[in-house]
Amino acid sequence: MSDDRRPNQFTRLSTAGAACVLLWISRTLCGLLVSYPLSQAIRASGMTSGPDGDAVLFQPGSLLLLELLRIGAPWLESASRVALLLAGLSAICELAPLALSLDLLGIPGSSLSERVSRALRLFPRFLTLGAIALLAQAAILLLASLLSAALKPALTSADDRLQTLAPLALFGLGWFACAGFGSVLDVARTTLVQRALGARSALAHALLCLRQRPFSLLIGAYPSITGSLLGYLTAAWVLTRLDPMSRSSVVLAFGVHQAAVLFAIAWRVRWFGTALELSANTD
C-alpha cells in the first residue's frame, strides 16, 4: 500500500512544484513589465546617471529621493499612468497561467497542448468571475467606509483611542470579508476546471460549498493568506537590515523579494489543492 502511495505523493508534489514555477514566472515577468515605465522615468530624470547609479537615492535622509520626486514629477506621473494600465492588463493576462496551474493540479495525465487549450477556453469565464469578485469586494469596502462614517457621530463623546480604533476595526473586518470572498472565488475557479459549468453556476456551486462546509473552506484559506503575509513581512524586515549603498545588497534584496514571492505562491498553491477537494466533494 505504501508503494502505491509514493508515486501519487510524488506526482502531487511535482505538479504543485510546476504550478508554483508557472505562477512565479508569470508574476515576475508581469512585475518587470509594470515596473519598466517607472524605471525609465527615473532614468530620464538624470538623477541616477552618476557612477553610483540609483544607490544615491537610498542615502540616509532620502534628500535625493525627494529631489527626484520634485524634478521628475512630470515623467513619474505619466509613467505611473502607463504602469497602472500595464498592471490592469497584467492582472487579466495572469488569469491564463492561473487556469493552467489549476488544470495541472486538478486534471492529471493530460498533454501540454490539451492543458493550454482548456486554459484558453476557461479564460473568459475566469475573467467574468474576476469582474464579479472585484465588484463584490469594492462593495464590501464601500460598506465598511460608510459604516465608519456613520459611526463617527456616535463616537464624538467616546475615548480618543476608541474613535481611532473603531474605523480601523471596521476596515479590518472589510478586508477579512474580502479575503473570504476571494476564497469563494478560488473554489469557483476550481469548479470551472473540474466541471463544464458557466461562471454563474460555478459561483453558485462555490457558495453552496461555503454553506455546507464553511469551517473547512475558511480553515484552508485564511492560513494560506496568513502564511503569504508572513513571508512578505519577513522579507520587508530583512530588507530594512540591508545596506542600500552596497551593490551586493541589491542582488540579495532581489533574491529575498523573489523568495517571499515563491513562499506566498507555495501557500496559494497549497490552498488550491484544498479548494479542488472541496469543490469535488460538494454536491
Q: How confident is the model at residue 127 (pLDDT cuts 50, 70, 90)?
A: very high
Residue 162 has pLDDT above 80, yes or no: no
Please give the average per-residue pLDDT across 132-155, as a whole number: 84
Block residue for cell numbers 482548456: 118
pLDDT (0 to 100) of residue 85: 92
- What is the predicted pLDDT for the residue at 2? 41
- Residues 199 and 97: their CA atoms lie apart, in Å, by 18
**What number is the average pLDDT over the span 167-196?**
87
Mean pLDDT on 84-107: 90
Cβ-proximal residues to 134 (8 Å cutoff; 6+ apart), any chain = none
User: 246 — alpha (psi -120 to 50), left (phi > 0) or beta?
Assistant: beta
The C-alpha atoms of residue 46 and residue 53 are separated, in whole angstroms, by 10
| pLDDT digit string, tens, across residues 217-242 | 888 888 888 888 898 899 888 888 77
- Residue 181 is predicted with a pLDDT of 87
Burial readout 201-218 (b: 16 or more C-beta within 10 A, e: otherwise) = ebbebbeebbeebeebbe
pLDDT at 158: 67
Look at phi and psi of residue 22 and say left if phi exceeds 0, alpha if psi is from -120 to 50, else beta.
Answer: alpha
The 8-class DSSP code of residue 282 comes to: -
The region of weakest confidence among 58-72, 141-155, 217-231 is 58-72
Instruction: Decide if pLDDT at 267 tops 70.
Output: yes
Top-confidence residue, 58 or 280: 280
Give the percent of the chain with pLDDT over 70: 87
**249 — pLDDT class (breaks 50, 70, 90):** confident
Tell me what pLDDT residue 4 has.
44
> What angle (nearest 5°) sits at the alpha carbon of residue 95, between those of residues 208 and 16?
80
Q: How many CB atoms lie within 10 A of CB 60?
A: 7
- CB-count burial class (<10 Å; 0-12, 13-18, 19+) for 253: middle
Residue 23 — very low, low, confident or very high, per pLDDT cuts 50/70/90?
A: very high
Task: Report the distance separating Cα 189 and Cα 196, nearest Å.
Answer: 11
Residue 56 confidence (pLDDT) = 64
Q: Where are the alpha helices (DSSP H) in 52-159?
A: 63-71, 73-93, 95-106, 112-151
* Domain map (residue ranges) of the chain: 1-93
Residue 60 has pLDDT above 80, yes or no: no
